[in-house]
Amino acid sequence: MQNNFPIQNNENEVTFNIKEKIEVYLTHWKWFVLAIVFCLSAALLYLRYSTPIYKISAAILIKDDKKGGLANELSAFSDLGFMAGVKSNVDNEIEVLKSRTATYNTVKELEFNVRYFNKGNVKTGEIYKKSPVHVSFLNKDKKFYKTDTVFHVKCISSTKYELLDADEVSQGKFSFGQTVKNPWGNMVITHTVDSVPVSKKNTIEDVIVKIIPLHKVAESYRLKFQAATTNKQTSVIALSITDEVEQKGIDFLNTLIRRYNDDAIEDKNLVAKNTDLFINQRIDSLTKELSVVESSAESFKKKNGLTDIISDAQLFIKTASEYEKEVITTNNQLNVVNYMLDFLKKSSANDIIPSNLIPDNADAASLIEEYNKLILGRDRMLRGGTDINPRVEVYDVQIEGLKSSITKSLNTLKSSLVITQKNLQRQESFLSGKIGEVPRQERQFREIDRQQKVKEALYLYLLQKREENAISLAVTAPNANIIDRAYGDDIPVSPKRSLILLAALILGIIIPVVIIYILDLLDTKIHNYKDIEKLALPYLGDVPRSETNNELVNLHSRSGTAEALRIVRTNIEFMLSQVQPGHAKTIFVTSTVPKEGKTFISVNLATTIALTGKKILLIGMDIRNPKLDEYLNVPSKGLTNYLSSPGSDYDNYIVKYEGFEQFYIMPPGIIPPNPAELLMGPKLVDLFEKLKSEYDYILVDTAPVSLVTDTLIVANMADAFVYVSRAGYLDKRMLAVPHTLYTEGKLPNMAMLLNDTTSEKGYGYGYGYGYGYGADIQKESSWKEKIFGKR
């Protein structure tokens, strides 16, 4: 029958003590030394065979619109404002520099996909620009840039070489400069070192040529390439790259910058050329359109009889005004003539006709003047004569004749004025029509003139921009100014010797710490008093690991185990101080599980007590799986035989052990079929009553308490219990068993004893023994013991 006890996890109750932790690690100092030596050796080996990596840097100044530069390729139209949103700034140019296309074209131009190596030279690596041979590939196509292959060039003489494939199988012998056909394309291998003696060419010119897919090379360089502004206030870009071959990095940066500027110039020129083409096309188109508009203006003026609308309108208005004045004058003159005719009809022969009313240039005016003179002359004659005076009659005839002439002349003048009036009125009407047409003509001509002016202005503007664009095309500047050309540091950025050695040293310390910590974390076994201290159980002490598995303490024993058992014996005496004199001090020894060494402790504790001269009886009460005969030479009959044989004498089953004066033993006897029932009988109680009066000490080796109830059945017969726990074997969670037994008082006067401990000073103690119920239970070594040895 197996007893059930609660298993508890006490790991969370452990308090941290830095001194103890350090001591735990210091006990394994050899492993720290070994790890440090190993890591430093690995670091030195890595530094010996690793290829150094160098950093190459350059700096360029971008002509940024935001910082005073003019990167707008369409600057010829900058005054129009419709391209104001197109800017060239530093962020955009950084992305252009870091683009896959820029990197791909750069490595393609430099032929970085073809690499040369000295055969067997691991340290120096690639022989960039120092290869004694050069391979030129002809008729390159897309297939070539995807090729991944290796071949060898072995120089035979100054004019001959042998071509080997990747497996060093000969593909033939060829002459330098000869075209060789192969699966990856035609190629020509030329000799580049003319000064090397022929006798040495075999060692110098044995070259390995590797062809790598171009996209892989480009991607590796793109990932290594860095571009960033030095600060936010400037448009300076710092370029850098790391490479195993310093010169390759320098060539890469310089070529990348050159290609960047070439591409920028090409883009600008492309825009300028397209702009020039556009301007010329528009000029040709505008020339035709302008000719059509000017022809329309010419036709309009011819059709309307115009030279200049404004001037003609002003002339028409002025002329119309003059005609209007002449019409008024003519009307006035016509009215005067009509008045004169009417006056002549009504006047008598003696009336003087007004002369100043008729224009001076008219014939009637002279006749009227002569008529008036005749009237005046006749009047003078009449004042001096009579009407019958012949001269008066002459005057009358003349006057009558002139009057008739005047009337005719006035009628003629009247007719002339009427004709003039009609002509003037007709001209006035014509001029009024002309003046009325002026707004319409002006509107129509303005439309034609507006088209002419717009097209003429655009024509002149495009002529100006064509000249500006031609100047821009002729003096296109690069987009970036080189501040620092690519240069490399003499000290490699990788590997950093001091940093790697320091890291190796730290790693050599960390690795053992981590391993020890993990193993300690996974270790659930008890090892020392600290593991059971928190249970607040009485503690007798620890017994170090024995040098042999069958050690028996005697008078001359000076081992650590013997000294520890003597200390335990002394501590037990304090525990048994309350036992009445005259009665044997009964000590039971038990454990939680088998193989914890309780029988070993029982035997050696009994011998230790026997050496003091006290009479002691050792009883083997572990009757299910007795182990007493592994340490002592005892008979096969014993306790079980006595308990199962009615009327037998117990003295027949007690033997005195040789070499000790007061050491007696009752063997466990044969294994009974009913151990528990046998121990529960009254005969065992009677036996102890008799034995207590005969011996000073009775030490009983009992069964483990977690497997069977045998020990608990006889626990009331003990004065004290020595509870053995084996270090490095018992699980910490199983400490709940002795803790429960102690707190419930099932094992009277119980005290813990830690067996098989290791010395802090490193003394080695060891023994092996077995304990099994039914199937043999073998102790499995922990990880820590496998690596660091037993504790």
What's the rounded mean pLDDT across residues 696-703? 94
CA atoms within 13 A on the CB side of 594: 19
pLDDT over threshold 80, residue 514: yes
Helix 246-304 and helix 100-110, axial crossing angle in degrees, nearest 10: 120
Task: Give CA separation, 447 vs 443, 457, 512, in Å.
Answer: 6, 15, 99
In the numeric block, the tokens 């009254």 are attached to: 682
Which of 115-124, 479-488, 538-547 bottoms out in mean pLDDT, i.e. has the lowest? 115-124
pLDDT score for 422? 76
Sign (positive/negative) of CA torsion 701, 705, 706, 710?
positive
Mean pLDDT along residues 231-240:
89
Give me the mean pLDDT over the 735-749 stretch. Answer: 91
Say whether pLDDT at 535 is over 50. yes
Average pLDDT in the 260-268 region?
Answer: 84
Show the tokens assigned to 43.
């670091």
Question: Cα 300 to the chain's mean position, in Å?
Answer: 73
Quick count: other Cβ atoms within 10 Å of Cβ 723?
27
| Cis preceding-peptide flag for 495 (omega within 30 of 0) | yes
226 backbone dihedrals φ, ψ, rounded to 5°: -130, 140
Confidence of residue 375 (pLDDT cuts 50, 70, 90): confident
What is the C-alpha separation between 529 and 757, in angstroms, rounded? 10
pLDDT at position 73: 44
Other Cβ atoms less than 10 A from the Cβ of 77: the count is: 15
CA distance 587 to 616: 11
**503-525 burial by CB neighbour count: b if 16+ within 10 A, else e?**
ebeebbeebbeebbeebeeebeb
Question: pLDDT band at 280, cuts 50/70/90?
Answer: confident
Instruction: Bin 165: left if φ > 0, else alpha if -120 < ψ < 50, else beta.
Output: beta
**pLDDT tens readout for residues 297-350:** 767 667 666 666 566 666 666 676 676 677 777 777 777 777 777 777 777 666
DSSP reduced 3-state for 349: coil
Whole-number Å distance between alpha carbons of 276 and 473: 9
* Backbone φ, ψ for residue 163 (5° rounding): -100, 125
Neighbour tally for 139: CB within 10 Å: 8
Report residue 784's pLDDT band, with 50, 70 and 90 as the boundaries: very low
The letter for the amino acid at 299 is S
Q: Write the single-letter amino acid at 585.
A: K
Q: Which of 172-176, 287-291, 296-300, 554-558 has the lowest mean pLDDT?
A: 554-558
Q: What's the pLDDT at 310?
A: 64
pLDDT band at 721 (very low <50, low <70, confident <90, very high): very high
Helix, strand, coil fractions of the chain, as percent rounded to 5: 50, 15, 35
Q: How far apart are CA 367 and CA 243, in angstroms?
A: 130
Banded pLDDT at 435 (limits 50, 70, 90): low
Instruction: Give backbone dihedrals phi and psi of 494, rounded to 5 degrees, phi first.
Output: -155, 140
Q: Tell me the per-residue pLDDT of 91-103, one tens digit each, with 9 for 90 and over.
A: 888 999 999 999 9
Nearest to 239 by CA among 687, 229, 248, 247: 229
φ, ψ for residue 699, nearest 5 deg: -115, 125
Tokens of 114: 């073809």
Beta-carbon count within 10 A of 333 CB? 20
CA distances from 645 to 248, 666, 667 (A): 101, 15, 15
Once rounded to an integer, what is the mean pLDDT over residues 741-751? 92
Q: How confident is the model at residue 262 (pLDDT cuts 50, 70, 90)?
A: confident
Across 409-427, average pLDDT: 76
Predicted confidence (pLDDT) at residue 554 exceeds the cutoff of 70: no
Residue 659: pLDDT band (50, 70, 90) is: confident
What is the tens place of the pLDDT at every residue in 32-88? 999 999 999 999 998 888 888 889 999 999 876 554 444 444 555 555 544 444 445
> Looking at per-residue confidence, does 459 or 565 come out higher?
565
- At 1 the pLDDT is 43
Alpha-carbon gap, residue 32 to 310, rounded angstroms: 112
At 500, list the tokens: 């790697």
Specify the DSSP element, H or E, that contains 619: strand 616-620
Pairing of the two strands 170-175 and 720-726: unpaired
Highest mean pLDDT among 124-128, 327-331, 424-428, 661-665: 661-665
Cβ(125)–Cβ(51) below 8 Å: yes
How far apart are the C-alpha atoms of 393 and 381, rounded to whole Å? 11
pLDDT at 776 over 60: no
Residues 6 or more apart whose Cβ sits within 8 Å of residue 41 = none
Whole-number pLDDT of residue 389: 67
Please tell me the predicted confidence (pLDDT) of residue 356. 62
Average pLDDT over residues 184-190: 85
Can you tell me the distance from the alpha carbon of 469 to that of 472, in angstroms, rounded to the nearest whole number? Answer: 5
Whether the Cβ atoms of residue 668 and residue 710 lie closer than 8 Å to each other: no
Pairing of strands 160-164, 226-229: unpaired
Starting at the edge strand found earlier in the chain, the sheet holding 170-175 runs 114-118, 207-211, 149-155, 160-164, 170-175
HSE of 433, CA atoms in CB hemisphere, 13 A: 7
The full 3-state SS of 61-114, as one line of letters, equals EECCHHHCCCCCCCHHHHHHCCCCCCCCCHHHHHHHHCCHHHHHHHHHHHCCCE
How far apart, in whole angstroms, are the C-alpha atoms of residue 534 and residue 735?
10
What is the structure's pLDDT at 789? 42
Distance between CA atoms of 395 and 783, rounded to whole angstroms?
180
770 vs 33: which has the higher pLDDT: 33
How many helices (H) and strands (E) would you count in the chain? 21, 20
Sign of the dihedral through C-alpha 567, 569, 570, 574: positive
Inter-CA distances, 510 with 90, 337, 507, 513, 789, Å:
46, 144, 5, 5, 20
Residue 395 Cα to chain centre, angstroms: 138
Q: In a 3-state reduction of DSSP, which class is residue 669?
A: coil
pLDDT in tens, 131-163: 888 899 888 878 888 888 898 898 888 888 888
pLDDT above 70 covers a percentage of the chain that reads 77
How confident is residue 559, by pLDDT bands cut at 50, 70 and 90? confident
- Residue 508 above 80 pLDDT? yes
In contact, 229 and 480? CB cutoff 8 Å = no
Average pLDDT, whole number, for the chain?
79
More confident residue, 125 or 110: 110
pLDDT at 7 over 90: no
Termini Cα distance of the chain: 33
> What pLDDT was estimated at residue 139?
80
H/E element, 427: helix 390-474
pLDDT of residue 767: 33
The pLDDT value recorded for residue 122 is 44
Identify the weakest region by mean pLDDT among 628-632, 720-724, 758-762.
Answer: 758-762
The band of 411, judged by pLDDT with boundaries at 50, 70 and 90, is confident
- Rounded CA-CA distance 301/704 in Å is 137
Length of the chain equals: 791
Look-up: residue for tokens 């309780």? 598
Confidence bin at 233 (pLDDT 50/70/90): confident
pLDDT at 701 over 80: yes
